[in-house]
Every structure is written in structure tokens, then in C-alpha cells.
């Protein structure tokens, strides 16, 4: 699978999976007015948010060998003040210095790395914009054990979406999120962006150091061979060689 992650644009809205275009779980308060065209309302919400705040979505595109491409995953994020549903969770409110990750989803049959790369793209975008942290409401209760009240809390309403609107807590923790507001069903998790992306910077820095050390050692060995001296391990002690017979 040749996967690319690109920012969502209004021009790409029609390319999103139908259930994503229709779902307005986060964009409309549960006690709001009855909607008749949720796809229109979702597009209008995205349009206003992009105009006022900027990029609010990342899209995973799978490029096939025949040259075709299709959207296989989407992530949405926004300031909590722009997300009406955000105040209706028992672990609300979202921290004032954080952006809310509302949705991370991949199409059926896609590799887990699709969602992982989407979250990484969200974090990268927010770091560039100076955001300190990203938070998310998660689902802790196993899907097969959802009670009626939990199902009611996750009801998408008029769009009839069959997808769960919350990310699994284990998935978010695997991406570096930590629980900041515990709850037996809907914990709120947080990722400090400087720390969350630190592992990537650390790996890159370690590789750079390794390559630099290897290059330095190779250069040292070449120099020693040219002078006829024995090469010594970098950082180790040099064992004196016996004097050559004249």
C-alpha cells in the first residue's frame, strides 16, 4: 500500500467516504435542532472552521498500482470551542491550551498504521502552529459490552452513522496519550506535543549521531592505515605495537 497523508481541503470533501461526510456527531450539540441534510451541515461546519481557524483535517490516500487513488482514512481536529459536543462528556472540559482530536478513522481492512500516520500528521500540523497539546475523549468500555446509556451517548443522531465516534483508549495510549481525566467509560486523554513528537526527533538524532560516528571511525581507520599504524577502536585504548626489526 502506497500511503500519503494530505491536509483536508473543501475541494476534497466529496472524496471522503460517505459516512464521514454525513456524520455530524461532534459538529452538532445533541440537544440541537433536527437536521435534514447532515452532509450539507458537515461541509458548512468545515468551511467556516477552515476560514476562521485553518486546517482541521488530515486525509490518508491509498495509491494503487493502476494509478487510481482513494481515501482510506480521515482525522478531524478543532478548538474545543468549535465543537458543540465537547461539553457533553463527563470528563469535559478540554484544557484551554489544547486542540481537540475528534475523529480518527480508517476504512475497513486498512492497516493499523493508517490511523497512526493520521495522528502523527495532526500532531505535526499543530506543532507547526504553536499548539501545546492535543486532547481526545476516548472509549474505555469494550465495544461488545456497551450498555444502553453508553450507546445513547454515542448515537450520531440524524446521520445514522454506524461508526463509533470515539477512539479506543488503548490506541491513543499507544500513540503517547496519557489520561488526564479518568472515567470508567469516557476518559479524556492528552498528548503534550513537544513530548509526543520527541521520540521521532530522538530517533532521527540517534541515527545522525550513529552515521557521524561511523564516518569518523572509517576516516580514522583510513588515516591510520595510510600511516602504517594499527587502527584502534573509537573511544578505546590503543595497544602499543612491537617495534619493527631494522
pLDDT in tens, the chain (246 residues): 689 999 999 999 999 999 899 999 999 877 756 667 889 999 999 999 999 999 999 999 999 988 899 999 999 999 999 999 999 899 999 999 999 999 999 998 898 899 999 999 999 999 999 999 999 999 986 655 667 776 666 776 666 666 678 899 999 999 999 999 999 889 999 999 976 555 455 434 444 555 666 666 667 777 777 766 544 444 444 444 444 444
pTM: 0.76
Could you give the angle at the alpha carbon of 184 between the alpha carbons of 178 and 190, nearest 5°?
A: 20
pLDDT at 209: 53
| pLDDT tens, residue by residue, 8-41 | 999 999 999 998 999 999 998 777 566 678 899 9
Specify the pLDDT at position 230: 46
| pLDDT attached to residue 45 | 95
Pairing relationship of beta strands 133-139 and 167-168 according to DSSP bridges: parallel
111, three cell numbers: 492497516
Given this model, what pLDDT does residue 39 score?
Answer: 92
Q: Alpha helices, DSSP H only, in the chain?
A: 18-22, 38-52, 113-128, 148-153, 169-174, 193-196, 198-227
CA atoms within 13 A on the CB side of 93: 11
Question: What does the pLDDT read at residue 143?
Answer: 56
CA atoms within 13 A on the CB side of 139: 20
Cell of 87: 461539553
How is residue 28 annotated by DSSP?
Answer: S
Q: What is the structure's pLDDT at 212? A: 63
Among candidate residues 69, 133, 66, the one with its CA nearest the CA of residue 97: 133
Amino acid at each position: 500500500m502506497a500511503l500519503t497523508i494530505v491536509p483536508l481541503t473543501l475541494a476534497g470533501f466529496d472524496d471522503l467516504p460517505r459516512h464521514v461526510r454525513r456524520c455530524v456527531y461532534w459538529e452538532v450539540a445533541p440537544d440541537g435542532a433536527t437536521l435534514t441534510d447532515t452532509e450539507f451541515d458537515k461541509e458548512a461546519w468545515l468551511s467556516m472552521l477552515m476560514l476562521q481557524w485553518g486546517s482541521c483535517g488530515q486525509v490518508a490516500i491509498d495509491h494503487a498500482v493502476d494509478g487510481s487513488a482513494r481515501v482510506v482514512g480521515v482525522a478531524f481536529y478543532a478548538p474545543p470551542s468549535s465543537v458543540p459536543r465537547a461539553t457533553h462528556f463527563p470528563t469535559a472540559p478540554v484544557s484551554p491550551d489544547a486542540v481537540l482530536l475528534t475523529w480518527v478513522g480508517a476504512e475497513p481492512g486498512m492497516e493499523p498504521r493508517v490511523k497512526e500516520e493520521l495522528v502523527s500528521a495532526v500532531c505535526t500540523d499543530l506543532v507547526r502552529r504553536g499548539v501545546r497539546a492535543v486532547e481526545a475523549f476516548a472509549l474505555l468500555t469494550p465495544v461488545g459490552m456497551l450498555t444502553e446509556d453508553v450507546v445513547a451517548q454515542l448515537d450520531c443522531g440524524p446521520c445514522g452513522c454506524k461508526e463509533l465516534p470515539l477512539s479506543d483508549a488503548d490506541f491513543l495510549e499507544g500513540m503517547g496519550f496519557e489520561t488526564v481525566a479518568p472515567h470508567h467509560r469516557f476518559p479524556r486523554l492528552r498528548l503534550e506535543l513537544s513530548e509526543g513528537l520527541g521520540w521521532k526527533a530522538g530517533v532521527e538524532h540517534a541515527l545522525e549521531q550513529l552515521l557521524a560516528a561511523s564516518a569518523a571511525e572509517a576516516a580514522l581507520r583510513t588515516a591510520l592505515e595510510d600511516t602504517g599504524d594499527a587502527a584502534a577502536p573509537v573511544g578505546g585504548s590503543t595497544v602499543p605495537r612491537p617495534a619493527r626489526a631494522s
